[in-house]
Amino acid sequence: MIDTGRMRKAMHEMAAEKGDFTLFALLRRADAVGGMWDLVVAAPWFKNSTLAATQEIVDLLTKTMGRKALMYFSRVVTLAAEDPTVRFFLRNVPVEDGERRIQSTDLFGMEIEEAIILRAKRPESVGPRRRVAHAMSPASSRSGARKPRALERA
């Protein structure tokens, strides 16, 4: 079984570096050998080349999860944001940051044993999530004064 918590963490780390995904889904086909999964992703920051986008995702997965984690995947599929598959997930299985499971279904002519969708939502902005440092006020430097959080999400 694939560790969805670990996959979600990897998705968040990749998004922090590159930008949010439009689609981040794990699909296990009925004919999958050894229970391996297909990782299906779409993001506005993908270049025009599918091969380059796939290589980028594999590199980011290796960086965030380690090389051994790649053994869970039979393939990594990168799609354009306007691909019919992406539009289907956005319309029928919207997920912002959670987990929706689909069991034993036919998707686009493929028999899917299980699908786990971690994200199916258009990003609000394109690009990496930025962290911004906030200046501390002079009063907060006195002893006993409450200190503001040093970093917050933009």
* Model confidence pLDDT, tens digit, residues 81-112: 889 989 999 999 999 888 999 998 888 788 99
pTM, rounded to two decimals: 0.77
What 3-state class would DSSP assign to 117?
strand
Closest CA to 6 of 92, 79, 66: 66
Q: In the structure, what pLDDT confidence band is assigned to residue 127 with cuts at 50, 70 and 90? A: low
d(CA 39, CA 73): 7
